[in-house]
Amino acid sequence: MPDSLDELNARLLRFARERDWEQFHSPKNLAMALAGEAGELLEHFQWLTESQSAELDEDKKRQVAHELADILNYLVRLAERLDIDLIAAAEEKMAINERRYPAEKVRGDARRASEYPD
């Protein structure tokens, strides 16, 4: 059974090829497009309080869902171009984070990563 990210990747690749858009999809350009979408995501939240940000109405929630979709789509495209297995990378990074931030040491303390002493 194919994984949902694999299916999404196949659909995105077909979409790009049918439009002859692979020529624009260098990793550099895709990274820019992804960061552009992350900027749009921010704009939805910038004037909300943290608690307002957790209680979006249906219309706003649908807009945010589409921003998340755009980010995921560029992320999957970028991973495809660079031949990176996204899920494997995420699992590897989680293993690093689990070692780096031991629960008993960092509980309730969320500093910037660079501020933790190694």
Report if residue 57 touches a copy of itself, rule: CB under 8 A. no
Q: Which residues contact 4 (CB under 8 A, 6 or more apart)?
A: none
What is the separation, in whole angstroms, between the first and last Cα of the chain?
Answer: 42
- Exactly one of 58, 99, 103, 118 binds a copy of itself (CB under 8 A); that residue is 103
From residue 9 to residue 48, the character string flagging contacts with a copy of itself as x (rule: CB under 8 A) and all else as - is --xx--x--xxxx-xx-xxxx-xxxxxxxxxxxxxxxxxx
Report if residue 100 touches a copy of itself, rule: CB under 8 A. no
Report if residue 98 touches a copy of itself, rule: CB under 8 A. yes
Residue 30 to residue 69: CA distance in whole angstroms: 14
Q: How far is the CB of 16 from a copy of itself (least distance, A)?
A: 10
Which one-letter DSSP state was computed for residue 108?
T
Q: How many CB atoms lie within 10 A of CB 41?
A: 17
- Exactly one of 13, 56, 100, 118 binds a copy of itself (CB under 8 A); that residue is 56
